[in-house]
């Protein structure tokens, strides 16, 4: 009998535990679609705990991949993090919800320099998340002298020691800059020159990569890599032999921003999440973890002075005089698709 009572007691405790656990489980959900390794994951866990909202988190590799998935429908994301030119395209195509800034009071911490930007001139659809440049990360023990030009990526001395971004917009864009053209060029002759240059360069390329670039540069597998500035910060923290520069021909100045896609089923939770990401402490944690420049005035004040005073990562206007922001190329993007396919198939 004691044995039977004991079993019943254990069952009662187990059922109570399950019921209590059920009561504490998040009842609401939020679906987030972001770049890989682009948030401090502890920030997500703290949001879930604070607001009892379960976050379903997926990642994408390029703006184009994200756009195709959202445009095709069938996805249920509530928060996206596209880049400038893609935000403009999605606004023009009616794919984004207008934000209710009365529910996002922490937006006031976003610096004035990051408002009224060309992709969202009236600040209706997006909140800047991170910004930066594209440049060259190089190993000082493997590269001769102080490089300052994109042309070093075509130097045969570094054959099979060069990593290029597996991103058609970025790789074709920096090649156009190397040739002295706009990275938003639609000119067929200029684009043809860029294609020929990339095909000429291909035997020198060790690999076309995205997030893998960090491990390869930290371990010393390559001498040179095209990277986004935040990845350069991360790599330099892990390997003191690495340096980063914005080439003298100019580069891509970019902005990534938080948006809510049209038809979000959890818009209230999404705006709560956006406001949470704009809390000073949270914005600081993300900027410190990711390494990219932050548009958040409070977060910048908390970051190490040696980082925010480094003009490679927080460049002044004169450092960006030859740089450009990507613009939506519309139907001309098919030329970039074709060129990249031809380069990769060589």
The whole-angstrom separation of Cα 294 and Cα 208 is 27
**Residue 67 annotated as part of some ligand binding site:** no
Beta strand spans in 61-204 (E): 79-80, 127-139, 162-165
Strand-pairing partners, residue 34, are 59
- For residues 290 and 130, the answer to whether their CB atoms sit within 8 Å is yes
DSSP secondary structure of 36-61: TT-S-HHHHHHHHHHHTEEEEEEEES
Count Cβ neighbours within 10 Å for each residue of 189-224 and write b for 16 or more, e otherwise.
ebbebbbebbeebeebbbebbbeebbebbbeebbbb
Helix (H) or strand (E) holding 308: helix 305-308
Name every residue whose Cβ is closer than 8 Å to that of residue 32 and which is 6 or more positions away in sequence: 44, 55, 56, 57, 58, 77, 78, 79, 273
Q: Kindly state the tokens that stand for 67.
A: 């756009």
Helix axes 280-290, 41-51, angle to 10 degrees: 150
Number of alpha carbons in the 13 Å side-chain half-sphere of residue 127: 30
The whole-angstrom separation of Cα 123 and Cα 181 is 30
Binding residues for spermidine: 85
Numbered residues of the known binding site:
85
């Amino acid at each position: 009998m004691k044995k039977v009572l004991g079993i019943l007691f254990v069952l009662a405790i187990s059922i109570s535990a399950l019921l209590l656990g059920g009561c504490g489980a998040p009842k609401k959900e939020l679906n987030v679609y972001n770049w890989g390794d682009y948030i401090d994951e502890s920030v997500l866990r703290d949001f879930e705990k604070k607001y009892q909202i379960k976050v379903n988190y997926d990642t994408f590799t390029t703006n184009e991949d994200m756009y195709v998935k959202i445009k095709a429908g069938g996805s249920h994301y509530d928060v996206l993090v596209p880049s400038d030119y893609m935000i403009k395209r999605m606004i023009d195509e009616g794919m984004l919800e207008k934000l209710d800034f009365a529910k996002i009071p922490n937006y006031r911490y976003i610096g004035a320099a990051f408002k009224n930007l060309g992709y969202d001139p009236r600040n209706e659809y997006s909140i800047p998340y991170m910004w930066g440049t594209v440049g060259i990360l190089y190993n000082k023990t493997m590269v001769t002298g102080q490089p300052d030009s994109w042309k070093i990526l075509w130097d045969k001395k570094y054959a099979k020691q060069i990593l290029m971004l597996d991103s058609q917009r970025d790789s074709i864009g920096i090649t156009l800059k190397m040739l002295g053209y706009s990275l938003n060029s639609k000119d067929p002759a200029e684009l043809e020159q860029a294609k020929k240059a990339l095909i000429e360069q291909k035997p020198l390329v060790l690999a076309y990569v995205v997030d893998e670039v960090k491990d390869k540069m930290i371990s010393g597998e390559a001498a040179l890599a095209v990277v986004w500035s935040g990845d350069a910060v991360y790599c330099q923290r892990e390997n003191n032999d690495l340096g980063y520069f914005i080439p003298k021909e100019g580069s891509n100045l970019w902005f990534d921003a938080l948006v809510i896609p049209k038809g979000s089923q959890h818009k209230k939770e999404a705006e709560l999440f956006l406001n949470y990401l704009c809390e000073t402490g949270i914005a600081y944690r993300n900027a410190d973890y990711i390494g990219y420049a932050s548009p958040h005035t409070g977060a910048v004040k908390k970051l190490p002075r040696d980082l925010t005073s480094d003009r490679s990562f927080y460049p002044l206007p004169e450092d960006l005089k030859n740089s450009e922001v990507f613009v939506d190329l519309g139907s001309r993007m098919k030329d970039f698709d074709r060129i990249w396919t031809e380069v990769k198939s060589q």
